[in-house]
Structure 1
């Protein structure tokens, strides 16, 4: 049997086609909170099979039921289960030893309080349940109008009718405690059913409604995430994320659950990163921490009067911190001491004097040469004036 959102839902003659995957969607996108049974193709090491089955209801809600009738169930089968004051229809989501692990994870004890599975749902049961589900959307809209008229501070998220059409569960969220006694009387009188009000958190509300996250994938809370852990802004600080509420918040209005996914890896890497509580002291000035690459273990520092950032590895940063703690300052972030080359004046003084004397670039030698040349030309002209005229001398 094909689902409503599947491209193989059925042909024009009304015959259900489906993807022939034994009740499970081959694409994984038709049902919420799908579970992959990785033990299905393995030999069972236990003689007796675990007789408790996990059953999924509307919007991924799951409960455990006992298969005391030893029904031959397959994942995805519609079953009629026992509920207080009636019966309901759900789909088998998991069976076998994995159910035992799920019960241990959720701290559910195996006792007589677990309800029983009546039978595999027939086509008549499924048709009747589909007719009952058609009441959910009109009931949801009408109930929201009643809540608005009564001015009750609550947000109605979803309505789920029981398969026997005797009870309806209303899921709502509210910031404060709500007195809905008058609301229950109005709903019971108008819809002629037993009413159950169930408050859910904002994260559970987003999971029931579903949607697409900023990553481009379906919301984790509506596909596979069932246990919600608290998320704090410290998780974003450790990962060097911008503390922008619009980027860190999910569709539920709370911090994204995915902030906790890589937090343990960051916490492990941060053990090698030193804590720089104040700027590093150097002879050149004070260098402040600008950025840290946690996994590459590189820290960037910059001086107050410069726009350049200098990358330092963690080992070098620890060395500078130790020097500052001892009251010492390195010359720069990269060097502790600058080597100064001293010229041996006593050994090379005569050579330096000769170089300066005969160097063309020496300004003193240039002045002396000009003075000597001027005096030489002056004496030459004087000798020419005092020379006698030899034109009248007899040959």
Structure 2
């Protein structure tokens, strides 16, 4: 969002910027930010949590239909950063206290982080749990000790990795902590679609769920629905071929005739060819009565916290 400048009124140009929250490490946008704010600056915004210090990571295209729910307050000053650092140290002590109380009360929850906004409107505790947790007694005890409003926020395991960051099996920092602003559904069907071995353990991330990167190229494999199955027999121009392989990177299908001679056909040529399917291979799961491979992986039941 960029406003026109009027030299006479000295109106400040404003735009939409992309920001990163310092507690959850999630990304979002903020409108009406002065153009003098640059990438790498800290700004203070108003959210449902209170006044927050956030990092500007770049500029963004404004969404007029769904404007960001956050309000720009000011560019962060030295005092704002000092308050943030002070609250971070205070939060570390509060987290230790919360963990001890939760253990004493026998609560099955993995506490990740405590966070206090700049205006001290509340103190939030982020945690991961397999089920619902009755933390009413915990909140009462914390309120007595910390003398602040307490809020417990349950997040998913993928949110936890995003908060702290980690290195994936690829050797790079996990995508969620680098650039992802939302988690897409990832399931084992994506392994089959991408011609990967159906072994979820090999494609499990640090969080214990299927790796997010499996969903990045899903749209590239949509064309597979228009292709004959591998090992099926087809007729092309009166000659019988067997479908040997799909190459989604170079976008072609490899056929072989009965003598084993290869035929390479690009995806953009498939629709213009008269390919008649003669037979399809029998699926190894044709008599399946249900197994764990049909279960959806990587979906957090808990909604992401922004």
* Aligned counterpart in structure 2 of residue 213 of structure 1, from 168, 181, 186: 168
Q: In structure 2, do the counterparts of structure 1 residues 148 and 47 end up closer, same or farther at CA, with 3 Å as the change threshold?
A: same
Q: Higher strand proportion, which one?
A: 2
- Equivalent pair of 1:273/1:314 in contact (CA under 8 Å): no
- Equivalent pair of 2:44/2:72 in contact (CA under 8 Å): no
Provide TM-score, normalisation by structure 2. 0.68
- For the pair 1:61 / 2:61, whether they are aligned, the reply is no
Cα distance in structure 2, aligned partners of 1:140 and 1:124: 24
For structure 1, the 5+ residue unaligned runs are 1-38, 281-288, 302-309, 326-395
- Quote the offset at 1:245 in angstroms: 2.5
- Quote the offset at 1:230 in angstroms: 0.6
Aligned residues: 253
Structure-to-structure mapping, 1:1-395, within 5 angstroms: 47=4, 49-58=13-22, 59-62=24-27, 64-65=29-30, 67=32, 72-83=36-47, 87-95=51-59, 98-100=60-62, 103=63, 108-109=66-67, 114-117=70-73, 119-269=74-224, 271-274=226-229, 292-295=244-247, 297-298=253-254, 313=263, 322=278
Cα distance in structure 1, aligned partners of 2:224 and 2:160: 35
CA RMSD of the aligned region, Å? Answer: 3.7
- Equivalent pair of 1:87/1:163 in contact (CA under 8 Å): yes
- Quote the offset at 1:156 in angstroms: 1.5
Cα distance in structure 2, aligned partners of 1:158 and 1:311: 61
Q: In structure 2, do the counterparts of structure 1 residues 85 and 91 end up closer, same or farther at CA, with 3 Å as the change threshold?
A: closer
Cα distance in structure 2, aligned partners of 1:194 and 1:227: 28
Q: In structure 2, do the counterparts of structure 1 residues 86 and 260 end up closer, same or farther at CA, with 3 Å as the change threshold?
A: closer
Q: What's the counterpart of residue 284 of structure 2?
A: none
Q: In structure 2, do the counterparts of structure 1 residues 261 and 72 end up closer, same or farther at CA, with 3 Å as the change threshold?
A: closer
Q: Higher helix proportion, which one?
A: 1
After superposition, what is the alpha-carbon deviation per residue over 1:82-124, rounded to whole angstroms, capped at 9, x for unaligned?
35685332233344xx241xx46xx6336xx64341x333323
Q: In structure 2, do the counterparts of structure 1 residues 237 and 186 end up closer, same or farther at CA, with 3 Å as the change threshold?
A: same
Cα distance in structure 1, aligned partners of 2:105 and 2:155: 21
State the structure with more CA Rg: 1
For structure 2, the 5+ residue unaligned runs are 6-12, 235-241, 266-273, 281-306
Provide TM-score, normalisation by structure 1. 0.54
